[in-house]
Amino acid sequence: MTKATEIKYPNALASLKRKAVVGVLRTWRGISGSARLAITGDVHPTLPKEDLDHLRKKMNGCLNNRGGEITARAQTVELGKTYLNLTDAGRAKFLNLLADDFDIDRVRLNKCIEAIQNAGEKKDITKLENDLREALTSPRSTILRQFNSLPDGFKFLVDMRADLLPLVRKNPNLKGLEYDLKNILSNWFDVGLLDLVEITWDSPAAILEKLIAYEAVHKVHSWEDMKNRLDADRRVYAFFHNKMPHEPLIFVHVALTSGIAGNIQAILDEDAPHQDINEADTAIFYSISSAQKGLVGISFGNFLIKRVVDKLSRELSQIKYFSTLSPIPNFRTWLEPLLNKGDESIFDVKEIKELRQLTKSENSAKGLQQLLEGEWHLDDKISEKLRPILTRLVAHYLMHEKNKQSALDPVAHFHLTNGARIKRINWLADTSAKGLKQSAGLMVNYFYNLEKIDNNHEDYVTEGKIDASRTVRGLL
């Protein structure tokens, strides 16, 4: 044996040993996985590779007609229980399997399309159209619909879509599954099937707890805070579905006021005196929150506002005006990059001079950025100097910054789509940390004039025209 051979041999032996060990481990994992399935019938919560075939068989069992529809639905119930017991990683694998292996049969689809294209004029194509319709229905859609056999099956699918949405951003192959799921939920949660319910302090505690948990605009800090929002001069309305009776889908908080409110801290102040309802003439919608992440993109918020307006008009004849007090969540998101690169083109000559003097900075944009990072709102002198500048910038942002022809700000887009008008921009209307971070403390009133809602809606949706008051337009 040569010296070279002596050197190589140990390495070769070590390599063979490693391969043998790896082979044994793989075999053992397969055996242990099979043994687990044989004994318990359950898959592991992380859904390892050796469990995927078993899960695929379960999914196929939901589709075949052996034993009839009742058996198939019972198997779907078992499949649902499996999903609920999986970890996040396991659920991602489950959804990928459902998306990849139970997609549309495109060979069959192409044959149906070809048959319709080649059909003669005399031939009845109704059957061919039905064949095409069936070919466009993916097997996974059948499985998804069968999940309503689960206890709380509607909620199960809503939560499954909530799990799916973040994954779609990373994996485009899941888009087909997301489309199927959204289509099913859109039909099941049609606004005509929803019940408008007023929530009061006497409502079940479980419902009140969910209102606290789901509040997305102005955090509820305590039960006393919640009670204040349900007082005599307040209203909370929510949409419910009869298949999810204990789960609000979307809800709105309303304050009954004399005149249009311009400060959210005043509305939320637990120590403020109650408004005499008989003297109230305005309903202020100050918070609208979607409660189910899995229903994102399935819009019924606009119907909620219209239903509440109709209900209040009938029940409280003294209420003549309907307005929001809304956040401007993306104002500083739009403004910060401009300030960061020192873009002074967003200011006029007078504003540039004012900001340079106020901030002692050679660049007005950089100077404003530094101010907004501190507690500028507590200094009356600085606050009054910034007021006309920031108010004008907000007016510009709401009126002119667009995504194609839609308002860039999502809250603005929501209310403008519903036919509202931009009524007033309110200075230091929300001085909470969140309000200052989002919009430098500014808020906006969107006004619902019942006689102009339809025209405003048409103008905005078709032409991107935004209705605004003379005061708001004057800021520009």
In this structure, what token pair is assigned to residue 215? 């509040």
CB-CB contact of 85 with 127 (8 Å): no
Block residue for tokens 């058996």: 71
Contact 44, 23 (CB under 8 A): no
**Chain position carrying tokens 């003379």:** 470
DSSP code, position 275? P
Backbone angles phi, psi at 376, to 5 degrees: -60, -30
Q: Which of 243, 219, 410 is nearest to 328 (CA)?
A: 410
Contacts of 330 (CB under 8 A, 6+ apart): 408, 409, 410, 438
At 170, list the tokens.
Answer: 């990373």
The verdict on whether 326 is a catalytic residue reads yes
Active-site residue identified among 141, 149, 287, 326: 326
Question: 138, 218, 415, 439: which one is catalytic?
Answer: 415
Spatial contact of 295 and 289, defined as CB atoms under 8 Å apart: no
Here the tokens at position 137 are 């229905």
Cα–Cα distance list, 311 to 78, 174, 196, 198, 468 (Å): 43, 41, 10, 10, 26
Whether 399 contacts 422, CB under 8 Å: yes
Region of 314 please: left (phi>0), alpha (psi -120 to 50) or beta: alpha
Pair 170, 262: CB distance under 8 Å: no
Check if the beta carbon of residue 316 is closer than 8 Å to that of residue 277.
Answer: yes
In degrees and rounded to multiples of 5, residue 237 shows phi and psi of: -125, 145
Tokens (6 digits) for 241: 């579905």
The identity of residue 105, as a single letter, is D
Evaluate whether 242 touches 261 at the Cβ level (below 8 Å): no
Pairing, β 406-407 against β 402-403: antiparallel
CA separation, residue 236 to residues 6, 230, 253, 344, 455 (Å): 84, 7, 5, 44, 28
Catalytic residues: 326, 415
